[in-house]
């Protein structure tokens, strides 16, 4: 049991601490005896709570109904609005200033937009960077390949 030397045993605080320790021990014994039941209830509640939280966020965070969300999935053919990859896990993309829903995105595209702070200018610069760097890399590789002596290639035509 719990002992505290600094508090007199007859004080109200000591009684509260002792009751709390006794209650905690009883709860621990119950959990050990009924572990399988508790886990089964937890799994059942997790499924329910996941659905409830999803519907709650549609209504309260994005101000759309589940039917509107379903219509968006159907209109996008279950695909991401950016990369067009089919996904079962489409995230709702929204404008953080106005709160207006823009579409449904796969997790990767949704995170990418967030990383670029939803700023079109930064996205355009990133695209330009990718295009120029990949072109430079391709030119460098072709130059190196063309500089190889013919003996290197052997019978390859």
Query: Tens of pLDDT along 90-112?
Result: 999 999 889 899 999 999 999 99
Q: Is residue 135, in this structure, part of any structural domain at all? A: yes
Residues 6 or more apart whose CB falls under 8 angstroms from that of 43 comprise: none
Show Cβ contacts of residue 81 under 8 Å, excluding neighbours closer than 6 positions. 93, 102, 103, 104, 105, 109
Classify burial at 33, counting beta carbons within 10 Å of its beta carbon; exposed 0-12, middle 13-18, buried 19 or more.
exposed
Structural domain of residue 135, as residue ranges? 119-146
How many domains are contained in the chain?
A: 1
Specify if 137 maps to a domain.
Answer: yes
Confirm whether 89 is domain-assigned. no
pLDDT tens readout for residues 60-95: 999 999 999 999 999 999 999 999 999 999 999 999
| pTM for the model | 0.59
129 located within any domain: yes
Query: Looking at the domain assignment, is residue 63 inside a domain?
Result: no
Residue 50 domain flag: no
Is 96 a member of any domain?
A: no
Residue 132 resides in a domain: yes
């Amino acid at each position: 049991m719990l002992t505290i030397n600094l508090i007199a045993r007859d004080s109200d605080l000591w009684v509260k601490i002792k009751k709390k320790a006794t209650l905690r021990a009883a709860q621990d014994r119950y959990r050990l005896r009924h572990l399988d039941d508790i886990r089964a209830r937890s799994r059942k509640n997790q499924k329910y709570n996941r659905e409830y939280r999803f519907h709650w966020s549609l209504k309260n965070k994005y101000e759309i109904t589940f039917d509107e969300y379903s219509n968006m999935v159907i209109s996008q053919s279950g695909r991401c609005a950016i990369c067009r990859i089919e996904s079962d896990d489409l995230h709702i993309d929204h404008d953080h200033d106005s709160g207006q829903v823009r579409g449904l995105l796969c997790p990767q595209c949704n995170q990418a937009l967030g990383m670029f702070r939803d700023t079109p200018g930064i996205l355009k610069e990133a695209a330009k960077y990718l295009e120029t760097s990949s072109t430079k890399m391709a030119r460098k590789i072709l130059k190196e390949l063309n500089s190889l002596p013919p003996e290197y290639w052997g019978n390859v035509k």
